[in-house]
Chains A and B, each alone.
Chain A
Amino acid sequence: MSEFSYEIVIGLEVHVQLKTKTKLFCRCRTEFGNPPNTQTCPVCLGMPGSLPVMNKKAYFLSMRTALALNCGIPKFTKWDRKNYFYPDLPKGYQTSQFDLPMSEEGYLDIKSTKDEFEPRRVRIIRAHLEEDAGKSMHDEAAGKGDSRIDLNRTGTPLLEIVSYPDMRSAAEAKAYMQELRLLLTYLDVSDCNMQEGSLRCDANVNLHITTDDGVIATPIVEIKNMNSFRSVERGIEYEAKRQYDVWQETGKVLGELPKQTRGWDDSAQVTRSQREKEESADYRYFPCPDLVPVIVTDQQIEEVRQEIGELPSALRERLQNEFGLTVYTADVIVNQGLSLVEYYLELAAAAGDNKLAGNWVQGEVLRILNDQEIEIEDFPIDAGRLAELLKLVQAGDLDSSKAKDVFAAMLTSDSSAADVIKELGIEKVDEGALEALCQVLVERNQRIVDDVKSGNEKAVGALIGQAKKENPNVNPGQVRQICLEIINNL
């Protein structure tokens, strides 16, 4: 059978657990990892007669996120009941938002650091505030028998962020997730821990295949259980190939099959069909009579907008335009999170050299953070101490390899750069002595002088080697510069 080209069409639904101390509708704690069923009350157990009350912080964290995603905030919003039976949902409905969500119509810009795709604006349909369900665990030990239910998580606030189907490759979907996660950490609204489930992603995927008779669309499949950035990418890639094969086999197109749900099996690296909940589409939403609507004023929205600090996209631009960093360096620093950006800004200001500071943060500092698996908060050299070292580098008192030695020594001591230099026996060579040394070397090496004179500047490298033998403390860059000056003036 002939091969046709196709485009993957992807929309993502992301669930973000908000960083509140308590649940959305009751004041039980939301901590992760506590013993089962120790964080419940009549409200989150769904006892008759109990009354939910909306968590103020959850609502305003949602608004902060929605504004950062360029969403509009309707003045009026309400909550609805989404009805279905599942053992981890004790009330028999999930309290969610149906027709009047708390935010709508925003966007998130993504671009590839590795040029995998063109920059793209992914539009956002809505972000709404809802509650999480509990956890069910199948008890293998007890045989086929039972599932065990832990309701600690029931009622935890979730912000569901729904994108338009604007992404066209698995790499774009992964980039969207990474950029969204970065934004959420800058906003400090979520822990964003995919392993612990505080950031979850479902993908709606289908293909637009260009056939001899025009473009056809394959039936849409929702992929669940993608618990890492890598599985988002692999799950979508796998699903695209699978849909293409199924289409070649059956010829079924969009509308000829109902929407299917498939789970990503990370160990087998495949998607598997999930049993549909009966009539899952029929949720019979209706307004929750127990919760009253929320009305916000322009002034409140403006106040929340003011709380939002500088976001990753703006910071990347500032580091490039105002600080003169390369696109790559700015990306690397910003993508590491706000704390590293703050470290960089402090370092650049104290050292008085934006580019040098950028190179050191992107190079040496990040290398140590990665090697030692630590965060910048635990990095042993604070910005002020590193700035002293950079000043010496900038003044030409230290060449880069010596500076790295000093840096390494500073990692394990509290000494200043100047003290470490003394301890290591590194001495700045007196300018007069250096010039005298260069003069001697030039006079001793007529052949190199001739080489340089005839246009081969690289030949001067041999003089640097000789200078280092004479005095290990000389700065190679300075030797090079002085020797070239002397030769050119001959």
Chain B
Amino acid sequence: MSLTRQDVEKVALLARLKFNEDGLDKMTDHMVQIIQYVDKLSELDTEDVQPMAHALDIYNALAEDEPRPSLSREDALKNAPKRDEECFRVPAVLGE
């Protein structure tokens, strides 16, 4: 499986990443290498192996429905690039 420059452009857009022409070429090279590396896995014979939904052999990690303290609002808003007394502030959300 290979990857085109257009694929990388699309993934970059979905991930909200911006590249110049040079960066896009470099990123395409890198990603093609990564894909090829992972492709090595398909050389393995997995005929008799059950597909896994998860890497760990653990199930049913469930917690009781008992409240624990939340962060203070000050702490919650501490890392926000922009905020007011109560809320995070972000560029206008349209279409609501």
Contacts from A to B (Cβ < 8 Å): 20-22, 27-29, 35-42, 45, 53-59, 76, 78, 83, 85-88, 100, 136-139, 144-151, 274-275, 278-279, 282, 284, 287, 289, 291-295
Contacts and interface: CB of A to CB of B under 8 A. Distances in A.
Contact of A45 (B72, B76, B94, B95): B76
Contacts of B60: 292, 294-295
A136 B93 contact: yes
B62 A54 contact: yes
Interface stretch (B25-33, B40-48, B50-58): B50-58
Interface in B35-85: 53-56, 58-68, 70-73, 76-77, 82, 84
Contacts of B94: 275
A62 to B, nearest CB: 12
A151 B76 contact: yes
A293 B95 CA distance: 36
Given A22-B67, A41-B71, A289-B54, A148 B88 contact: yes
A149 B87 contact: yes
Q: Is the interface of A mostly helix, strand, loop or mixed?
A: loop
Contact of B92 (A35, A88, A145, A295): A145
A334 B73 CA distance: 44
Interface residues of B, number: 38
Given A54-B61, A87-B91, A87-B93, 13 more contacts: A21-B66, A27-B68, A37-B73, A37-B88, A54-B62, A55-B62, A56-B63, A56-B65, A57-B65, A146-B89, A149-B88, A293-B54, A293-B59
A40 B76 contact: yes
25 contacts: A21-B65, A21-B67, A27-B66, A28-B68, A37-B76, A37-B87, A38-B70, A41-B70, A41-B71, A42-B71, A54-B62, A54-B63, A85-B16, A87-B91, A147-B93, A148-B86, A148-B87, A149-B88, A150-B87, A151-B76, A278-B13, A279-B13, A287-B54, A294-B59, A294-B62
A225 B88 CA distance: 24
B14 interface: yes
B73 to A, nearest CB: 5
Nearest first, the 10 closest Cβ-Cβ pairs linking A and B are A275-B95, A57-B65, A148-B87, A56-B62, A27-B68, A149-B88, A147-B93, A87-B90, A146-B89, A36-B86
Contacts of A284: 14
A39 B76 CA distance: 9
A54 B96 CA distance: 30
Given A146-B82, A274-B95, A40 B53 contact: no
B12 to A, nearest CB: 12
Given A29-B67, A56-B65, A293-B53, A147 B95 contact: no
A40 B68 CA distance: 11
Contacts of A146: 82, 89-92
A292 B61 contact: yes
